[in-house]
Amino acid sequence: MKNRPIYNSDIPVLQAAIEADKFHPGEWKVEDFRGFSEVFEDTHGPVVFVVYGPEGAEVKRLRISTMWVTPDESHRNGRCIVFLVKLAAERARSAGFEELIFKTTHPPLAKFCTRILNFVPIENDEYVLPLERKDEANTNAL
């Protein structure tokens, strides 16, 4: 698994994923993936397009928004999200963020992220992962 910037050659794959999206129909456009964004891929090609955005006044959160290329490939996507969250947590922590946050109405993704990645459900189908500072972190923290 590796991550890289989104290239112009990725746009047709991203557009096709947006058009086929059954979880957020009509919510995303290719333009939404400008800014701090990247694609995660494996040996078979792109798995997920990701865009990050800071938010929060009381708690500094880094929002993760995704567009899955093949949402029904749960094994492939599961491997990818573990890699993605670990990398995002390391980056966010070093940049001073206190939590990662994402939103989903997809029960299998929510269950995976809470049971395996230790995200905590909050409100409105949102989930957060508290980020411990390295000097406070235990060996089980992401």
* 11-67 pLDDT per residue, tens: 999 999 999 988 888 889 999 998 899 999 999 999 999 999 999 878 899 999 999
Give the per-residue pLDDT at 133. 66
Which helix (H) or strand (E) covers residue 23, if one does? none
For the domain that residue 103 is a member of, what is the CATH number?
A: 3.40.630.30
Q: Does some domain include residue 79?
A: yes
Domain that holds residue 75: 2-130
Give the per-residue pLDDT at 142. 53
* 95-108 pLDDT per residue, tens: 999 999 999 998 99
Contact call for residues 37 and 20 (beta carbons, < 8 A): no
Residue recorded with tokens 């992401």: 142
Query: Across all residues in the chain, what is the average pLDDT?
Result: 91
Helix ranges restricted to H, 1-142: 11-20, 74-94, 107-115
Q: Does some domain include residue 141?
A: no
Q: Does some domain include residue 100?
A: yes
**Single-letter amino acid code for the residue at 110:** A
Give the per-residue pLDDT at 72. 87
